[in-house]
């Protein structure tokens, strides 16, 4: 199988689904003629035409609202926010409309929309364009939140998201577009939403991560292995619905956990995982559960300061050694 | 508002105390911090200081009562204050949410003398079951019937972790301990002797006597001791001591034992296995060298511990030991005086003994038994002469150390005393 980039995996998923289902269409800023800010939809405008690859005005409220409305009327829109930071402007469409209509209309109406949103820190985009606000969206029932970390998962999960009858926020970490990995081709390939995945087996400590944090965790695990410490790395892949089973199974084996997330620690993914772990496996705890997260500051523009505020393998290694 | 005086926790492993004597009577004024009673833990006689201020309204525990820590022993309040609603059972309700407290108040509003026996184990007010342990360690201890107080914790602040319980389970004596229910404090696992008939006198064992019985039985039955003896030429050390003491006032004088303790500590630096504890899969080597000195006290013995003995000056060792031994003999020992030891010296030199062997003071790995320094015939350069010699025997835990190591330790110890200027560095 060819080793493709995560960007290519996302492009392939979109293209396969558009070929499979004519109700699937793309909308967003610069997605058409320009081919997408991150070049994910390059060539789509020529292949599928202006009706199915629609450039929109610079209005996230309009993109979110129109996409939710189109989905309620039977289409399967894939709406792209240029970055997840701008999705704040569309919170009402995402949270109050897309995530609620099926419930509020007693199932008479569904909203099969996918919101794609690149995000995260590490590219010197300044404090307002570098958020990792995944947890804000994962807070609300009714919205599925997917955040893959490998080309395989990105492709399979995006296809599953497009086929889902519920609204899905699909978060693409913009530092991961270039990473390479295998991803199967063909209509049948999907990765189920809401299933966590053990990415590396180990017996000494459980590292829970997702998205870019997974790559940090895997690097840390390789370094730890050189010292004879075998970390098990669990990739959440989906933040809602959250699949704790592999996390709990791993913790019951290792008795120790470190949770890695790029977002802020307070009220974060790590807090949620830690709380669920102690509820489900209190009698298996052998050390405090540690969280590795972004420092609680607006992300600096300076490269050195930005890198210092973000997570890295050294911080994960230090946290692991604290619990061992 | 009236409040309780409670049995304090005055030592790391203190679980209960005996109320020996009340120094105050009902109606007396007491200040916060004032000594109101003498209590006895299994290590020492201690002073019970009032935690509250006011007039002593009621005594809830009579002399001789065994009281769990945290339990109420007296009520203090304003003169003439109504205390009928209070009782002497549970401790502070906010600390111990004892379910009967509220009920009892309703059922027996005017019966404060109905002192409810505290149910179950006395616990530390700090941690469940009196120990700092992780949830998985607690679960394993429960499954295997282990008393976590027996397990050494290797985690932060001595927290007992899974690995510590596993090490405990793997250690040879553990199964026996795990199978037999942990003896209650003061109960030694001997066949009870037949009830006394005639011609005998029975004496109730003190807490201290019970503690000695329990710990020495545990040591001699579970720790495989071996013994190595050597003889030290004490003439140089005694000469040095004479020289030092000539320059010092009486209260600062250095004893032979101080020299021995200091030499022990310096020698231990090169033998970490003897400054250690056996913990199953692990040998726990102490980073600090804290040499204890066994002190004979009324009804038993105590070990007073000189912290960081190897880095303490000889004058500090002398001053500290003098103060601690004084407190031990006066029954005023402080918990800190007797805790933290990593090696013990037992010196019977003052009693004109040739030599003897001692039982290891668990969980330490070794103990040094010191006889008298006495004048004996010695052979020097083929001629008979009079020398000063002292015999000393180390008892060591064979699970941690071996004969050659113990012998090398004795060589180092001997060399330090025979060339004693290094004790002053």
Nearest CA in chain B to A323: B155
Cβ within 8 Å of residue A49, ≥6 positions away: none
Is position A34 within any domain?
yes
Is position A188 within any domain?
no
Among A182, A205, A226, the domain-final residue is A182
Measured between CA atoms, how close is A57 to chain B, in angstroms?
56
What's the whole-number mean pLDDT along residues B382-392? 94
Measured between CA atoms, how close is A283 to chain B, in angstroms?
5
Structure tokens of A20?
A: 């499979």
DSSP H/E element including B273: none
Is position A265 within any domain?
yes
Measured between CA atoms, how close is B161 to chain A, in angstroms?
6
* More confident position, B172 or A290: A290
Q: How many CB pairs under 8 A join A and B?
A: 22
Residue B115 confidence (pLDDT): 39
Residues 99-158 of A with CB under 8 A from B: none
CA distances from B234 to B237, B252, B314, B372, B419 (A): 5, 21, 17, 10, 10
* More confident position, B282 or A100: A100
Nearest CA in chain A to B153: A286
CB–CB of A286 and B138 under 8 A? no
Bridge pairing between strands A24-28 and A76-80: parallel
CB–CB of B139 and A287 under 8 A? no
pLDDT in tens, B118-146: 333 444 557 777 788 999 999 988 888 88
Is the pLDDT at B371 greater than 50, yes or no? yes
Residues of A in contact with B136 (CB under 8 A): 255, 283-286
How many domains is chain A partitioned into structurally?
Answer: 2
What's the whole-number mean pLDDT along residues B378-401? 94
Residues 117-156 of B with CB under 8 A from A: 134-139, 155
Residues of A in contact with B134 (CB under 8 A): 285-287
Residue B104 confidence (pLDDT): 40
What's the whole-number mean pLDDT along residues B295-313? 90
What is the ipTM, given to two decimal places?
0.72
What is the average pLDDT score of chain A?
A: 97
CA distance A184 to B96: 61
Residues A103 and A60 in one domain: yes
Measured between CA atoms, how close is B184 to chain A, in angstroms?
27
pLDDT in tens, B98-113: 343 444 444 443 433 4
pLDDT in tens, A222-265: 999 999 999 999 999 999 999 999 999 999 999 999 999 999 99
Residue A221 confidence (pLDDT): 98
Taking Cα atoms as reference points, which of B16, B61, B67, B63 lies closest to residue B43? B16
A283 close contact with B: CB closer than 8 A: yes
How many percent of chain B have pLDDT more than 90?
43
What's A292's domain CATH number?
3.40.50.920
CATH class of B3-107: mainly beta
Structural domain including A84 reads: 3-182
Is the pLDDT at B43 greater than 80, yes or no? no
Residues A66 and A173 in one domain: yes
Residue A171 confidence (pLDDT): 98
Q: Active site includes B398?
A: yes
Residues A128 and A276 in one domain: no
pLDDT in tens, B197-223: 678 887 877 778 888 888 899 899 999
Residue B282 confidence (pLDDT): 87
Nearest by CB: A283 against B136, B155, B161: B136
Label residue A47 by pLDDT band (50, 70, 90): very high
Structure tokens of B167?
A: 């090490």
What's the whole-number mean pLDDT along residues B332-346? 88
Q: What angle do CA B402, B176, B44 make, to 5 degrees?
A: 80
Task: Pick the range with the lowest mean pLDDT from B7-16, B17-26, B81-90, B154-163.
Answer: B81-90
Residues A226 and A300 in one domain: yes
Structure tokens of B8?
A: 């304090």
CA distances from B156 to A89, A287, B332, B365 (A): 47, 10, 32, 23
Residues A175 and A214 in one domain: no
B29 close contact with A: CB closer than 8 A: no
- Test mutation, B135, B143, B148, chain A, max A CBs within 10 A: B135
CATH class of B128-209: few secondary structures
CB–CB of A284 and B137 under 8 A? no
pLDDT in tens, A255-309: 999 999 999 999 999 999 999 999 999 999 999 999 999 999 999 999 999 999 9
Instruction: Return the CATH number of B224-424, one of 3.40.50.620, 3.20.110.10, 3.30.390.10, 3.30.559.10.
Output: 3.30.559.10
Query: What does the buried/exposed string (b/e) look like for B118-139 if buried means 16 or more CB atoms within 10 Å of the residue's CB?
Result: beeebbbeeeebbbbbbbbbbb
Nearest CA in chain A to B133: A286
A188 close contact with B: CB closer than 8 A: no
Measured between CA atoms, how close is B136 to chain A, in angstroms?
5
- Within chain B, all domains assigned CATH 2.40.50.100 are found at 3-107
Q: How many residues does chain B have?
A: 425
What's the whole-number mean pLDDT along residues B77-102? 58
CB–CB of A285 and B155 under 8 A? no
What's the whole-number mean pLDDT along residues B137-162? 88
Residues of B in contact with A203 (CB under 8 A): none
User: Which of A104-118, B163-177, B178-192 has the largest mean confidence?
Assistant: A104-118
């Amino acid at each position: 199988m060819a080793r493709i980039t995560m960007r290519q995996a996302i492009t392939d998923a979109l293209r396969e689904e558009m070929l499979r289902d004519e109700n699937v269409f793309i909308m967003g800023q610069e997605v058409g003629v320009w081919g997408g800010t991150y070049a994910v939809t390059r060539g789509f405008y020529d292949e599928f035409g202006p009706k199915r690859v629609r450039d929109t005005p610079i209005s996230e409220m309009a993109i979110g609202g129109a996409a939710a409305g189109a989905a309620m009327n039977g289409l399967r829109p894939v709406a792209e926010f240029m970055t997840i930071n701008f999705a704040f402007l569309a919170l009402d469409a995402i949270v109050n409309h897309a995530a609620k209509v099926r419930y509020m209309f007693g199932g008479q109406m569904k909203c099969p929309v996918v919101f794609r949103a690149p995000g995260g820190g590490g590219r010197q985009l300044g404090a307002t364009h570098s958020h990792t606000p995944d947890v804000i969206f994962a807070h609300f029932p009714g919205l599925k939140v997917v955040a893959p970390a490998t080309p395989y998962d990105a492709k399979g999960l995006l296809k599953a998201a497009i086929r889902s009858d519920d609204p899905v926020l699909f978060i693409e970490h913009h530092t991961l577009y270039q990473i390479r990995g295998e991803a199967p081709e063909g209509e049948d390939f999907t990765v189920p939403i809401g299933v966590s995945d053990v990415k590396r087996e180990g017996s000494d400590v459980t590292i829970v991560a997702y998205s870019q944090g997974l790559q940090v965790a895997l690097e840390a695990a390789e370094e730890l292995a050189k010292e004879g410490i075998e970390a098990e790395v669990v990739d959440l892949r989906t933040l809602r619905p959250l699949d704790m089973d592999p996390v709990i199974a791993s913790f019951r084996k290792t008795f120790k956990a470190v949770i890695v997330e790029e977002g802020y620690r307070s009220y974060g993914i790590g807090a949620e995982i830690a709380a669920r772990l102690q509820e489900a496996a209190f009698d298996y705890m052998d050390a405090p559960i540690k969280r590795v997260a972004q420092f609680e500051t607006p992300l600096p523009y300076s490269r050195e300061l930005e890198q210092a505020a973000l997570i890295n393998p050294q911080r994960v290694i230090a946290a692991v050694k604290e619990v061992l | 508002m009236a409040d309780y005086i409670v049995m304090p926790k005055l030592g790391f492993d203190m679980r209960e105390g005996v109320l020996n004597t009340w120094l105050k009577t009902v109606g007396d004024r007491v200040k916060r911090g004032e000594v109101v009673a003498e209590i006895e833990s299994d290590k020492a006689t201690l002073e019970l200081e009032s935690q509250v201020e006011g007039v002593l309204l009621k005594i809830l525990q009579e002399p001789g009562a065994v009281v769990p820590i945290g339990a109420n022993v007296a009520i203090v309040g304003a003169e003439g204050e109504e205390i009928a609603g209070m009782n002497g059972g549970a401790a502070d309700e906010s600390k111990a949410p004892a379910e009967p407290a509220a009920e009892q108040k309703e059922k027996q509003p005017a019966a404060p003398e109905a002192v409810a026996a505290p149910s179950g184990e006395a616990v530390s007010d700090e941690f469940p079951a009196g120990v700092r342990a992780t949830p998985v360690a607690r679960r394993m201890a429960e499954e295997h019937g282990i008393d976590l107080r027996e397990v050494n914790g290797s985690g932060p602040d001595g927290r007992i972790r899974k690995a510590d319980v596993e090490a405990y389970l793997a250690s040879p004596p553990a199964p026996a301990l795990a199978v037999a229910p942990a003896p209650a404090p003061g109960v030694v696992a001997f066949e009870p002797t037949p009830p006394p008939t005639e011609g005998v006198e029975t004496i109730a064992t003190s807490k201290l006597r019970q503690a000695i019985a329990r710990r020495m039985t545990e040591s001699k039955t579970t720790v495989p001791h071996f013994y190595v003896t050597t003889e030290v030429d004490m003439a140089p050390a005694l000469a040095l001591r004479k020289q030092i003491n000539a320059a010092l006032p009486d209260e600062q004088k250095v004893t032979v034992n101080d020299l021995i303790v200091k030499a022990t500590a310096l020698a231990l630096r090169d033998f970490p296995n003897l400054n250690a504890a056996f913990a199953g899969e692990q040998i726990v080597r102490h980073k600090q060298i804290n040499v204890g000195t066994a002190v004979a006290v009324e009804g038993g013995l105590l070990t007073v511990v000189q912290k960081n003995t190897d880095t303490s000056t000889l004058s500090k060792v002398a001053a500290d030991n003098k103060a601690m031994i004084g407190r031990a003999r006066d029954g005023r020992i402080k918990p800190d005086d007797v805790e933290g030891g990593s090696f013990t010296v037992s010196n019977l030199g003052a009693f004109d003994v040739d030599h003897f062997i001692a039982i290891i003071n668990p969980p330490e790995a070794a103990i040094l038994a010191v006889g008298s320094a006495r004048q004996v015939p010695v052979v020097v350069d083929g001629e008979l002469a009079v020398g000063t010699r002292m015999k000393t025997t180390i008892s060591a835990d064979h699970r941690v150390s071996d004969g050659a190591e113990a012998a090398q330790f004795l060589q180092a110890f001997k060399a330090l005393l025979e060339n004693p200027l290094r004790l002053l560095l």
